[in-house]
Amino acid sequence: MDIDNKQLGELMTQAVPWVRTAGIEFLATEPGKVVVGLPDHEDTRNHVGGPHAAMMFGAGETASGAVVMASFAEQLDRATPLVARAEIHYRKLALGPLRAEAVLGRTVEEIVAELDAGERPEFPVHVTITNGEGVTTGELTVVWTLKPRR
C-alpha cells in the first residue's frame, strides 16, 4: 500500500490524538522510512530552552509508529502493532524545531512471513533526531511487535 504524507498524518492523528496535540508534522514518507517534524513551542520546552525530553521521545516514537503503520497497513485487519520496548540516547542539547527520521530495521517481507507462520514478530525501528542544522541530538530504538488478532 502506498501512502503519502497527508494520508499518513490523517491516519496517525485519528489513531493517536496526541500527535495533533504535539503538533507533529509529517515531512516525508517512503518505503521503510518516515520523517516527522517537531515544531518549537515555548510551552513544551525544558529548563534550558529546548524541547522537553518527553517531546523528543514522543516525536521519535511517533515517527517509528508512522513507519510501522505505513509498512504494515495491509496487515492491520489481522494484527495490532504495539511497542514492546524502547531506548533513547540524548546526544546533544536540542534547541529549536527538530526532525525525527525513522527507519524500519528489518524487511517487511521477513516480518510478514513470521506473522503468516503464526508467530508474533518483533522488529526494531531506528530513529535519528536532528536539529535545524542537521546535528544529531538524539537516537531512539523502538522495538515493535505485531500482535495477531485471535
Domains located in the chain, CATH noted = 5-148 (3.10.129.10)
How many residues are given for the chain? 150
Measured distance CA(3)–CA(70) in Å, rounded: 7
pTM: 0.94
Measured distance CA(65)–CA(144) in Å, rounded: 8
Mean pLDDT of the chain: 94
Question: Is there a contact between 56 and 88 (Cβ–Cβ < 8 Å)?
Answer: yes
Note the pLDDT tens digit of each residue in 39-98.
998 998 989 988 999 999 999 999 999 999 999 999 999 999 999 999 999 999 999 999
